[in-house]
């Protein structure tokens, strides 16, 4: 009987210690929205007339829209090449179940394909007091193989209202090249800004900022791009439903607003 009482007494003493050793996993961090990496260029599919580095082509009835599309296209080309694999990897994470690794650290591990090439992704999310720290490691086998390349990293507010990504160019040239800043209001991404941050690059400090507003021309691009000799600033506004819009440039068009209608045809801008 005494032995039993001693055993019960020991169990009572060590129970709090054992309980204290168990770590509460808690809930995994919520992934930043897919739109945090993506600017919508769908309204600007240029026919290829003219050049973003020259004045408007003369005698074309859709020259205003074409100028806006060509300027946006400079950034669209950069993004399509730089972000294709990491964006594909990130989007795949939304269909995966994360694994608890350690105190406040979670990991998503999975395979995916981009342009018919197979990759393995390992996304980690470390929960802090006010922010989550994200790191995406990607592995490729076969031709041009690399292992656990940190392709992008970033932070997001724990309430999901804003964040930032830093993307690295490639496993062969692993320098930081693109910074993405984003904000969200409710379920809607309200602003995404890409800034080219690659050192020793003439395009460094170029950017495109995409914003949404509750006005008639509800979408907005603010663009700074390198023309090959200098930087040029361009503002583009358009309606995401009717597709009409306007553009003005610091170097061309006498810095005045020029407009197009829902058919992309040049029109006189309404009086301010």
pLDDT in tens, 16-45: 444 444 456 789 999 999 999 989 898 997
Cβ neighbours, 10 Å, residue 56:
20
pLDDT at 214: 87
How many residues are listed for the chain in this entry? 272
- Residue with the two structure tokens 């390992």: 122
pLDDT in tens, 160-192: 999 999 999 999 999 999 999 999 998 889 999
- Mean pLDDT throughout 134-154? 96
pLDDT at 254: 78
| Displacement of CA 229 from its chain's centroid (Å) | 28
Torsion (CA) 92, 94, 99, 105 in degrees, nearest 10: 100
CA 218 vs CA 45, 142, 231, 241, 268: distances in Å = 19, 46, 26, 9, 19
- Mean pLDDT throughout 41-62? 61
Is the pLDDT reported for residue 5 higher than 50? no
pLDDT at 15: 43
The terminus-to-terminus CA distance of the chain in angstroms comes to 95
């Amino acid at each position: 009987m005494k032995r039993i009482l001693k055993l019960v007494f020991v169990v009572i003493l060590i129970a709090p210690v054992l309980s204290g050793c168990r770590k509460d996993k808690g809930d995994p961090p919520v992934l930043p929205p897919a739109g945090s990496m993506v600017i919508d260029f769908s309204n600007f599919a240029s026919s290829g007339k003219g050049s973003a580095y020259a004045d408007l082509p003369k005698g074309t009835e859709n020259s205003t829209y074409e100028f806006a599309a060509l300027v946006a296209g400079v950034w669209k080309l950069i993004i399509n090449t730089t972000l294709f694999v990491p964006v594909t990897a990130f989007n795949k994470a939304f269909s995966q179940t994360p694994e608890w690794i350690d105190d406040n650290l979670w990991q998503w591990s999975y395979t995916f394909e981009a342009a018919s090439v197979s990759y393995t992704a390992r996304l980690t999310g470390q929960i802090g007091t006010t922010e989550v720290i994200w790191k995406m490691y990607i592995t490729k086998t076969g031709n041009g193989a690399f292992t656990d390349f940190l392709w992008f990293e970033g932070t997001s507010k724990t309430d999901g209202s804003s964040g930032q990504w830093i993307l690295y160019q490639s496993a062969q040239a692993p320098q930081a090249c693109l910074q993405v800043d984003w904000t969200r209001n409710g379920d809607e991404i309200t602003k995404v800004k890409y800034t080219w941050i690659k050192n020793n690059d003439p395009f460094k400090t170029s950017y495109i900022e995409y914003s949404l507003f509750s006005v008639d021309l509800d979408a907005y691009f603010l663009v700074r791009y390198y023309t090959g000799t200098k930087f040029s600033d361009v503002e583009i506004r358009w309606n995401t439903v009717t597709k009409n819009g306007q553009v003005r440039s610091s170097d061309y068009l006498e810095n005045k607003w020029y407009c197009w209608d829902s058919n992309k045809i040049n029109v006189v801008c309404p009086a301010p």
